[in-house]
Amino acid sequence: MELASYLAGERWSDHPACTHPLLAALARLVNDNTSDESRAKLVRLVPSIIGLASDDLRVDAQIALRCATTALPVAAAERQLALAVSVLAAEEMLARLDGAPSGRLSERSRRALEEVPHAADQARRFSRAARITEKGFRRYAAPNAVQLAVVGIVQACIPDPDALLRELLEETINECSALIRGDQPAETPVTITTPIHA
């Protein structure tokens, strides 16, 4: 992020104005939790995050959703409930922002939740009783989802957590670019017949 600030002509900072704050937070977390050998592979991503700034809450929700759905299937059991709640909260926020019915799930979210049915059931029960505000989602829920996801991947029993972290960052950058610049279409959520609160 400091390199991004320099390339963007800003003062030297790991919180540059040229990048969405939550995307910058994800980049810092991935960088800080990646081995030295793998960290060098992240440098090529720096130019792609410059100019990805937006006040649209959909960007926060998509970042949180990408992080939670990536980590949920591989995270240890004690992190799955919080990640499943993060998935449902991000989907609910996106539905609200789009004026869509509550209970809409993207295919990616549906698949991730199916991988952890017990945590998904608990998350649905929890979500029925909770209603998050847009301000609360931006300040707390979305950043927590990002942090939980990175820690969940780092501590997961998988062969190469560095590769999954790098893939997560790349996919998140691509989705942000689609939302902010219109570079490519983001995944279109699908409406399911069974509500997520069932």
Q: What pLDDT tens digit does each residue of the chain (198 aa) get?
A: 554 554 445 455 565 566 889 999 999 999 999 999 898 888 888 878 878 889 999 999 999 999 999 999 999 999 999 999 999 999 999 999 999 998 899 999 999 999 999 999 999 999 988 888 999 999 999 999 999 999 999 999 999 999 999 999 999 999 999 999 886 544 444 333 334 444
Predicted TM-score (pTM) above 0.75: yes
CB 196, CB 103: distance < 8 Å: yes
pLDDT in the model for residue 155: 97
CA distances from 136 to 118, 125, 142, 172 (A): 26, 20, 9, 21
Residue 40 class from Cβ within 10 Å (0-12 exposed, 13-18 middle, 19+ buried)?
exposed
2 membership: H or E segment, kind and range: helix 2-7
pLDDT in the model for residue 184: 58
Q: At what angle do helices 57-71 and 107-115 cross, to 10 degrees?
A: 30
pLDDT in the model for residue 9: 56
pLDDT in the model for residue 14: 62
CB 98, CB 20: distance < 8 Å: no
pLDDT in the model for residue 43: 84
pLDDT in the model for residue 191: 36
CB 65, CB 57: distance < 8 Å: no
